Structure formats: structure tokens, C-alpha cells
Structure 1
Amino acid sequence: MMATTHALAGVALAVLVGVLFPESAAGTSLLPVAAAALGGLFPDFDLYAGHRRTLHFPVYFSVAAAVAVAVAVAVPTVTTVAAALFLVAAGLHSAMDALGGGLELKPWLGTSDRAVYSHYHRRWIRPRRWIRYDGAPEDLLAAGAFALPALYVLDGTARTVVLGALGISAGYVLLRKPMVEVTQAVVDALPDEHLDRLPARFVEDFR
């Protein structure tokens, strides 16, 4: 799924907590909302360094999130609530990746059996392909669904940021396959002696 979909899922989570508990930090401060968005993005910071393995922890993020939620309930401050939402969103991202496509650079072909790595189980979890690949039309639909609660509840700059994320998502969906075609053309044109400078997955998938 797109990074923006994961970020918006985190925002939706924070907004839901704020609506259910309006007197909590999630209902009175934007910091927990921002933390949830960042938590939704965070696992994808490993994009070029062992993607969906280095910073993706479906089990461990979930355990850490459970502890953080307990702390936030016991000591409900802006910091503890923000930390809890960050970890819940990061765990949600890691788990949601199993519902998408595989790691191949043309995931619409469905050739990879690796969706996300579980360090606890020491193995890759296979892709379910409920959302066929990041940037698929249904991915944009999911992003829109996650954005709806935020668009209803938030206003001002926060609402503008959510709309911006949706705009980026729509643009990515339009460019997803053309970007791969351009990248493949560039890789195909490179002399063999320069291939070692590319991420291994580019060489494996394109050459």
C-alpha cells in the first residue's frame, strides 16, 4: 500500500480516539494525530534498506503498542498518548502490508511471495493481495476511506494536509506504472559495470 494510505490510517485512528475520548490528549491536541501519521509512515523509511523487513515489525510493534497504550491509559498525557498512537499506527502499517502485494517492482504481476517480514516468526508473510499493489485504484479507495473521518473532524492546516495527502495519492496512482516503465528503460540502458551501484532489487527485477 502507499505510504500515504498508511499515514492516513494512522490519522483515522487518532481521530477515532479523539472522538471516543474527547477530553483525552487525542481530542484536545494535534500532536497525537501527527504522531499517528508519522507512525503510519515510519516503517517505510526502510524503502531502500531491506524494505518491509528492516523497520517492519508486525508482532513486536504490536506488543510495544499494547504496552504503550496501557501506559497512556494509566498516565494520560499528550506525550504518552502520542507515543501509543505512533506505535499502534506503526504496528498497523506492518500488519496491513500483508494484505497488499509483494515486493517485486512490478507487483501487479503477482510473482513475489514476500509481503512483509515477521522477525518473531523469522520468515516472510505471503501477500494476500486484497489491495493488489501500492498505487492500485483500490489503494486510493482505501486512502480516501481513511481520510474521511479526518476531513469531517479536522479543520485548518490539518485538514489541508489530509487533502494534500489524498492529492499525492491520486498522482501516485496515475504515475505508478509509467514510473516503473521509465525506471526499467534507464536500468536497461546502463552499462553492466554501473549496475553494482543500484539497489539489488532493481537489478534482479529489471535485468
Structure 2
Amino acid sequence: MATTHVFAGLAVVAPVAAVYPEFGTALAVGAILGGLAPDFDLVAVHRRTFHFPLLGGAVALPAVGLTVLVPSSLTAALAAVAVAAWVHAASDALGGGPEMDPWNDRTERAVYDHVRGRWIRPRRWIRYDGAPEDAALAVALAIPALLVFDGWIAGLVIGGIALSLAYAALRRRLIPWLPDWLE
């Protein structure tokens, strides 16, 4: 789920924000954007166009290094975007395939590896987005953000938890309602 990816990004930056609260908002905004960004390829070749499970590290690690050398809200936000996007892309291999009904196990393509020029197979530890285990993981990953962030960020996390649980409850019933161009 998109919320699981956002919560994963927030969980990664939460310890940094706890130590450096002056960068908390920048880190949170960056993590949210980075957690969502790879899925903008839903209208292209999903999990290939904007997903970089290996190459993402080539951007994320220097971005973190830059933030250490030149700490600012801007560098912290950019590092958070890069790290959260990388975590998102890499973690997609742990779930099912990118199709709209992955519980049917129709494909052995989880996320594209641009380095090797081939698809990484799905591990199916999370059977599909919106599976009960995905909702449980989302809630667990949201906890660090709730412990560290407050105000509108905490409100957004609480809303995201509610959205995650509702989506998980309805996920398998949503496919017939999708427009044909999404299938």
C-alpha cells in the first residue's frame, strides 16, 4: 500500500528527527514524498519506470552524505526523499506482483532491476497490497512516526492508518470498480 511505503519512509527518518528536531518537518515531508514518488509510474510501466531498487542507493547514499556535510532543511528533505524512494522500490520485491489482482499470482515480476536489465521476482511475504499483513505492517511502521512527530504530521499518520485499515478491508472487492485503463 502507498501508506505502508510512506510509513516506512517516516520510520527511517524518525530517529534522525528525534535527534535533530529542527529538521523534523523537512525529514517528514521528504519521507512522505519519497514514499509516494515511485508509484507515480502507475500510468506508465508500474514498478519499472520510477522504481530503482538497486540504483536508488546510488542517489540515496550521496544525498545522506551531503546532508551530513551540509546540514539544512533542504538537504535533509532531499535525502529523505531519496532514501524513502529507494526503500519503497527495494521493498516492492517483498510483496506480490504489480497487477491489480496479485492474489492470483499471475506474474513473477515484482520490480524491475535496471542494473541487470531484468525483473526481480516477488517474494510474497506481503501477498498483495492491502492484504491483512500489509495493514498490520503499515500500523507497525506508523508507530515511530507517532512517537516522534506531532501536529499535522501526526494527524496525517493517524489518517493514513485509518485509510490503510479501510483499504485492507475493501481491497479484494475494489477490482470490479476500477476503470478499464487501470487493469
Q: Residues 20-35 of structure 1 correspond to what in structure 2 (within 5 A)?
A: 22-23=19-20, 25-26=22-23, 29-35=24-30
Residue 7 of structure 2 corresponds to residue 12 of structure 1: no
Q: CA deviation at 1:60?
A: 1.6
**Gaps (5+ residues) in structure 2?**
none
1:190 maps to none
Partner Cα distance (1:24, 1:119) in 2: 36
What is the aligned-residue identity percentage?
48
Q: For residue 77 of structure 2, what is the amino acid of its counterpart?
A: A
Q: Choose which of 70, 76, 81 in structure 2 pairs with 1:86.
A: 81
Q: Choose which of 156, 163, 166 in structure 2 pairs with 1:161.
A: 156
Partner Cα distance (2:158, 2:21) in 1: 25
Q: CA deviation at 1:173?
A: 0.8
Larger radius of gyration: 1
Q: Deviations over 1:71-90 (max 9, x none)?
A: 11111111111111110000
Partner Cα distance (2:130, 2:46) in 1: 17
Choose 66-75 or 148-157, whichever is displaced more: 148-157
Q: For residue 176 of structure 2, what is the amino acid of its counterpart?
A: E
Q: Choose which of 104, 111, 123 in structure 2 pairs with 1:109.
A: 104
Q: Aligned Cα RMSD in Å? A: 1.5
1:193 maps to none
2:94 maps to 99
1:46 maps to 41
Q: For residue 101 of structure 2, what is the amino acid of its counterpart?
A: K
TM-score, normalising length from structure 1?
0.84
Higher relative contact order at CA 8 Å, sep ≥6: structure 1 or structure 2?
Answer: 2
- Contact persistence 1:25–1:32 (CA under 8 A): no
Partner Cα distance (1:156, 1:24) in 2: 13
Partner Cα distance (1:153, 1:88) in 2: 18
Q: Residues 64-79 of structure 1 correspond to what in structure 2 (within 5 A)?
A: 64-79=59-74
Choose 63-72 or 10-19, whichever is displaced more: 10-19
Secondary structure of the corresponding residue to residue 154 of structure 2: helix
Partner Cα distance (1:79, 1:154) in 2: 18
2:120 maps to 125
Q: CA deviation at 1:25?
A: 4.4
Q: Choose which of 32, 36, 42 in structure 1 pairs with 2:31.
A: 36
Secondary structure of the corresponding residue to residue 47 of structure 1: helix
Partner Cα distance (1:122, 1:4) in 2: 28
**Gaps (5+ residues) in structure 1?**
188-197, 203-207
Partner Cα distance (2:22, 2:14) in 1: 11
Partner Cα distance (2:145, 2:127) in 1: 25
Q: For residue 14 of structure 1, what is the amino acid of its counterpart?
A: V
Q: CA deviation at 1:109?
A: 1.5
TM-score, normalising length from structure 2?
0.94
Residue 54 of structure 2 corresponds to residue 55 of structure 1: no
